[in-house]
Structure 1
Amino acid sequence: MTNNRNDSRQRFAKTMWAGMLAPEHMQKVEDEVVERFIPAGGYVCRKGDPVDHWMGVMEGFLKMSSISPDGKTVTFSCMLAGGWFGEGSLLKTEPRRYDVVALRDTRVAYMPRSTFNFLLDHSIAFNRFLLHQLNERLGLFISLVEYDRMLDPDTRVARCLASMFNPYLNPGSSMQLQISQEEIGYISSVSRQRANQALQLLEKKKLLTVDYGGITILNLDGLRRFPDEADA
């Protein structure tokens, strides 16, 4: 674990599932989870890697993506502080099916498979959390297919930003999001320039404000319903 145990306890307390665990189960997690620093642009894991850990973002910003046969990068999701991922691959005991890359300097927690399986065997609360998280992730991926195939770039940016505020997948998100326009382009599958145009439109609709180094969400429900909400 990190050398500062009190700091580690505080960080784990911010994750949704940690507060559901019995004290002895949380103690096991604290004893067995390790943290690693991943620099911006570095790989947390690669497609095809063996899956030995469940992983969580302690601080920073990650994207989950893959390279299509024609060489196009397809972004599936992003993870902010408090988000955990990789449970599907652990449950199926299959190789990693995607890359996870740090979009900025990030600290990642690695829970060993043995610890993950212990929680599955001994914690009803942990199982209930995973069921909800898997359901939320499935809904997100179905939405992303819709965004990519059916929505214009402005609506895609709005919906992708809204998806970052899912309480199960990114529980630590605040309405002030430190994210660059380049990063918004990554998660929305648009260019930085096109993301900038979309943000200007969303700002005019009073759904968000563009700040130095990030954005502030003013109307989360409006982002989720855009463009219908903006035209109402």
Structure 2
Amino acid sequence: MIKRDAAEAVLRQNGWLSHQPEDFQNEVLRRSILLYYSPGEVIYRFGDDLGGIHGLVDGIVTVNIAPPDSAPRLIHMGKPGGWTGENCFLTRQPRRVELRAVSEACLIHLPLDQMDQMASADPTVIRNFSHILMNAVEVLIRVIHDLQKPDPDRRIASVLQRITWTAEQPIPLTQTEIGTMACVSRRQVNAALKRFVENGWVKTSYRSIIVLHAEELRRFAAEDD
């Protein structure tokens, strides 16, 4: 398991926290808890009570969202340095996202009461925490943009490129799950992956995909833009 010092180093160097002032980084990490999750374990569910924020240190987690009257669907995968859970702090409303570990995962959790204490001592930190929300908006803009591509192969390429952050990192999703994210059928995903394999962009194995050339996928997906 990842040790505390190594976990903090990941978050200082990647994502939202890495762009915050050092004093703020130190305070967030000083007040946080290191947590470990097993594959399939739910970190929190849509509608759960108020809670704090989570930062992904290592592993793979899925982000599932939906309108209040619908079942959550897979829309994105977290990457190391990504944080979520800010809505409870900003709106005092229950969870609007489901976060689930796909592999063994390590996260750092800043409890809501600790966020409140920080904001009470210095109200300007609300702006720092709000940056997490803006990062989420940027992701949703990208998701919507990708889904508006008329060609299904380019939507699939966009999904694979979007959820890949390191070469040779397996994507542990089924073709059905990829299809959900790209709004296509499993058969369309299967056909597209065969073409991508022939082009040397990806390789596939049971229940996982490895992106070999994310830049080639990006170029292909962008041809509709």
TM-score by length of 1: 0.72
Residue in structure 2 matched with residue 84 of structure 1 by the alignment: 83
2:158 and 2:221 in contact (8 A); partners too: no
Match of 1:215 among 210, 219, 223: 210
CA distance 1:75–1:194, shift in 2 (3 Å): same
2:88 and 2:94 in contact (8 A); partners too: yes
State the distance in 1 between where 2:161 and 2:77 align.
12
Residue in structure 2 matched with residue 74 of structure 1 by the alignment: 73
| Count of matched residue pairs | 219
Deviation at 1:143, TM superposition (A): 4.1
Deviation at 1:53, TM superposition (A): 0.8
Residue in structure 2 matched with residue 154 of structure 1 by the alignment: 153
Superposition pairs of residues 1-150 of structure 1, within 5 angstroms = 4-66=3-65, 74-117=73-116, 118=118, 122=122, 127=127, 130-131=130-131, 133-145=132-144, 147-148=146-147
User: Which amino acid in 1 is paired with 2:158?
Assistant: R
Residue in structure 2 matched with residue 178 of structure 1 by the alignment: 170
State the distance in 2 between where 1:139 and 1:21 align.
18
CA deviations over 1:22-41 (Å, ceiling 9, x no partner): 54433332332112222211
CA distance 1:161–1:121, shift in 2 (3 Å): farther
**Unpaired segments ≥5 residues, structure 2:** none
1:32 and 1:115 in contact (8 A); partners too: yes
Identity of aligned residues (%): 22
2:143 match: secondary structure: helix
2:87 and 2:95 in contact (8 A); partners too: no
CA deviations over 1:138-158 (Å, ceiling 9, x no partner): 243244345446644322211
2:63 match: secondary structure: strand
CA distance 1:148–1:9, shift in 2 (3 Å): closer
TM-score by length of 2: 0.74
Deviation at 1:227, TM superposition (A): 4.7
CA deviations over 1:163-186 (Å, ceiling 9, x no partner): 236xxxxxxx22333213516445
Larger CA deviation: 94-103 vs 17-26 = 17-26
Supply the RMSD in Å over aligned alpha carbons: 3.7
1:80 match: secondary structure: coil
State the distance in 1 between where 2:54 and 2:32 align.
9
CA distance 1:41–1:108, shift in 2 (3 Å): same
Deviation at 1:96, TM superposition (A): 0.8
**Unpaired segments ≥5 residues, structure 1:** 166-172
State the distance in 1 between where 2:146 and 2:94 align.
27
Larger CA deviation: 108-117 vs 96-105 = 108-117
